[in-house]
């Protein structure tokens, strides 16, 4: 009997154990397995770096390099208070600030102490071996060109997201997708073994801009010098490739250093060449002439009487600097006669002028995709009063960005074809849209060469050895109560070499206060200085036949 009871109890024990085994192994297996794994398996992020931004020749404009960020677990660090002063010293923080931070977030397990520290600082933090102090890898963006390309490239915030410029426009393209992997960690959280990759990290793609770093630097230097020399409030300049519509250089003053943006106000970040508009003034006159030629009423040799040097339109009087008498189209442009432009405008139907301006892209964004780009203002002709119909012809009553003006001049440079503007390097040539007849574009280009001749208003834009076509502009700034008498915008828009234009450039200097304020005196010399260098850098052969021939003869004599 006793033996039977013992056997029965043992058998019951076996059954119970067996059942428990089945229960754990079969019914509860998933739960237990995940619990077990969660004690040593961890899934951690694989950081992905942001793509590099380069200029058109592959020169670096922005690059991400890994840096360390120091974070603490306050609950762990509070236990070893003694180490705080040493830690604060290494990180160059006030010990009290660290203590306050810890007190405030004592309930948390993750607080950034200092982000983006240098590798040597990170090494010193690691050497302190304080419990609860950790390092993590983050990326910091560096901009080797600094302030020179700041407005085009833009910058990222501390979390590596694009904030301005191309960094913002192509944020998605540049951003990498972090991956995840599973690792085995020991009790102290050290990675013992990599187990498997859950998702591969995909680094951000690189971006090649249309900018040429050499031109960018040259343009920046000369614009900055001009803004300082003329004590101007601000300035912008753009160089476009006439054939492809690519932006080769774009600069503004004032600029900023994207690598160190503390103590900076927001208005420095603005890319004025695409976000700020101005009244283009006389630089619009070539397009008035285009409209006149296109109407069929005028030919290049047509004569316009501008005497006596002023003209009354309604209650307003339009004036020239002096009485230019009877002029042809070329002289109208080279003397920059407002009366001549007015007479042209009055003889055209408003929609003819408006049609040309609209086809040249005024009043519309250029489609460059630059964040914050504005389209300027061009009122519909049905809403023009008589005075607007007239002022439009010499560039008041409409507003444009420097980039828009450059694009319109690129149409003249490109035999009447409008090519979309691009900040990204084009791999293939694009088919433009013919918006002005070829022969008219060429005629106006020849007229604009006269502006830059020895006795034209733009003579200071001359580049030795090259033919230059361009137009100066000087406009009074519009203020709340009309136009300011003593505040000007000085502009020059031009192209080179005029026989087969390769580059188009617009310089705009806002409120020069050092005495000179004419576009021909303030803006045109910037064109000459930049283009002299640009022709050499881009290896564009001179097209001024006189110069070439004499040189060739001289070279022959020497040999």
Partner 1 sequence: MGVVLVLVIGSAIAVIDAKHRSRKLFSQLQALKKQQDALDVEWGRLQLEQSAWARHERIERIARTQLEMKMPEAGDIVVIKP
Shortest Cβ 287–partner 1 spacing (Å): 33
Shortest Cβ 9–partner 1 spacing (Å): 34
Reported as half-sphere exposure (CB side, CA atoms, 13 A), residue 432 has a value of 28
Reported as half-sphere exposure (CB side, CA atoms, 13 A), residue 259 has a value of 13
Shortest Cβ 120–partner 1 spacing (Å): 13
**DSSP track, 446-499:** HHHHHHTSTTSTTGGG--TTS--EEEEEEEEEEETTEEEEEEEEEEEEEEESTT
Angle between helices 524-538 and 213-229 (to 10 degrees): 160
Binding region for partner 1 (CB under 8 A): 49, 59-60, 63-66, 142, 144-145, 181, 193-197, 213-214, 217-218, 221, 464-465, 541-542, 547-548, 551-552, 554-555
Contact 103, 26 (CB under 8 A): no
| The token pair that represents 303 in the structure block | 């004569």
53 vs 344, which CB is nearer to partner 1? 53
514 vs 537, which CB is nearer to partner 1? 537
Shortest Cβ 515–partner 1 spacing (Å): 28
Work out the number of other CB atoms within 10 angstroms of the CB of residue 186.
Answer: 10
Contacts of 376 (CB under 8 A, 6+ apart): 277, 362, 363, 364, 398, 399, 400, 401, 404
Shortest Cβ 492–partner 1 spacing (Å): 21
85 vs 146, which CB is nearer to partner 1? 146
Between CA 509 and CA 232 the distance in angstroms is 7
Element (H, E) at 251: strand 247-253
13 vs 144, which CB is nearer to partner 1? 144
Shortest Cβ 65–partner 1 spacing (Å): 5
* DSSP three-state, residue 379: coil
Shortest Cβ 324–partner 1 spacing (Å): 32
Helices (H), 360-437: 386-391, 402-413
214 vs 502, which CB is nearer to partner 1? 214
Between CA 309 and CA 338 the distance in angstroms is 9
285 vs 529, which CB is nearer to partner 1? 529
58 vs 131, which CB is nearer to partner 1? 58
**Strand segments (E) across 369-445:** 417-418, 433-434
Contact 216, 238 (CB under 8 A): no
Contact 132, 111 (CB under 8 A): no
Angle between helices 84-91 and 119-128 (to 10 degrees): 170
33 vs 322, which CB is nearer to partner 1? 33
Nearest in space to 531 (alpha carbons), one of 272, 209, 249, 335: 249
End-to-end CA distance of the chain: 133
Contact 448, 524 (CB under 8 A): no
Nearest in space to 156 (alpha carbons), one of 83, 228, 85, 65: 65
Sign of CA dihedral 104, 105, 107, 113: negative
Please identify which of the residues 64, 282, 334, 490 carries the catalytic annotation. Answer: 282
| The token pair that represents 141 in the structure block | 């963006």
137 vs 316, which CB is nearer to partner 1? 137
Beta bridge partners of 305: 326
490 given a catalytic annotation: no
Catalytic residue list: 282
């Amino acid at each position: 009997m006793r033996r039977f009871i013992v056997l029965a109890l043992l058998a019951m024990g076996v059954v119970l154990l067996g059942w428990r085994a089945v229960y754990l192994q079969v019914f509860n297996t998933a739960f237990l397995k995940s619990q077990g794994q969660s004690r040593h398996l961890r899934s951690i992020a694989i950081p992905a770096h942001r793509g590099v931004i380069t200029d058109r020749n592959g020169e670096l404009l922005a690059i991400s390099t890994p840096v360390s960020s120091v974070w603490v677990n306050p609950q762990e660090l509070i236990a070893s208070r003694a180490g705080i002063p040493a830690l604060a010293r290494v990180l160059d923080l006030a010990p009290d600030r660290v203590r306050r931070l810890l007190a405030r977030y004592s309930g948390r397990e993750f607080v950034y102490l200092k982000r983006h520290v240098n590798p040597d600082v990170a090494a010193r933090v690691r050497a302190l071996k304080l419990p609860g102090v950790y390092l993590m890898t983050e990326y910091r963006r560096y901009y080797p060109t600094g302030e020179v390309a700041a407005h085009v490239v833009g910058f990222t915030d501390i979390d590596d997201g694009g904030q301005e410029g191309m960094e913002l426009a192509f944020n998605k393209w540049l951003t990498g997708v972090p991956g995840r992997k599973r690792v085995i960690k020991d009790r102290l959280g050290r990675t013992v073994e990599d187990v498997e990759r859950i998702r591969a990290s995909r680094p951000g793609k690189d971006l090649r801009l249309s900018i040429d770093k050499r031109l960018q630097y040259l343009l920046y230097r000369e614009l900055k010098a001009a803004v300082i020399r003329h004590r101007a409030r601000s300035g912008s300049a753009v160089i476009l490739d006439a054939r492809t519509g690519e932006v080769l250089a774009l600069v503004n003053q004032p600029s900023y250093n994207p690598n160190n943006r503390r103590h900076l106000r927001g208005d420095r970040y603005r890319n004025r060449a695409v976000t700020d508009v101005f009244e283009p003034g006389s630089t619009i006159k070539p397009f008035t002439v285009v409209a006149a030629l296109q109407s069929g009423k005028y030919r290049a040799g047509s004569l316009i009487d501008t005497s006596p040097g002023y003209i009354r339109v309604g209650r307003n009087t339009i004036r020239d600097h002096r009485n230019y008498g009877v002029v042809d189209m070329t002289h109208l442009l080279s003397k920059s006669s407002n009366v001549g432009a007015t007479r042209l405008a009055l003889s055209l139907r408003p929609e003819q002028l408006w049609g040309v301006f609209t086809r040249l892209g005024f009043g519309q964004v250029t489609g460059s995709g630059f964040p914050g780009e504005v389209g300027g203002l061009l009122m519909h002709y049905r809403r023009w009063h008589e005075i607007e119909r007239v002022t439009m012809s010499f560039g008041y009553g409409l507003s444009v960005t420097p980039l828009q003006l450059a694009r319109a001049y690129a149409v003249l440079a490109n035999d009447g074809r409008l090519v979309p503007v691009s900040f990204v390097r084009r791999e293939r040539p694009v088919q433009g849209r013919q918006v002005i007849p070829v022969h008219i574009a060429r005629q106006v280009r020849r007229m604009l060469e006269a502006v830059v001749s020895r006795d034209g208003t733009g003579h200071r834009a001359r580049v030795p050895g090259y033919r230059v076509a361009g137009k100066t502009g000087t406009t009074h700034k519009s203020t709340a109560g009309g136009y300011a008498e003593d505040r000007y915008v000085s502009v020059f828009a031009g192209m080179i070499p005029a026989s087969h234009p390769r580059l188009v450039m617009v310089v705009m200097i806002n409120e020069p206060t050092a005495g000179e304020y004419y576009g021909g005196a303030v803006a045109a010399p910037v064109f000459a200085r930049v283009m002299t260098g640009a022709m050499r850098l881009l290896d564009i052969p001179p097209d001024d036949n006189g110069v070439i021939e004499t040189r060739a003869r001289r070279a022959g004599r020497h040999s």
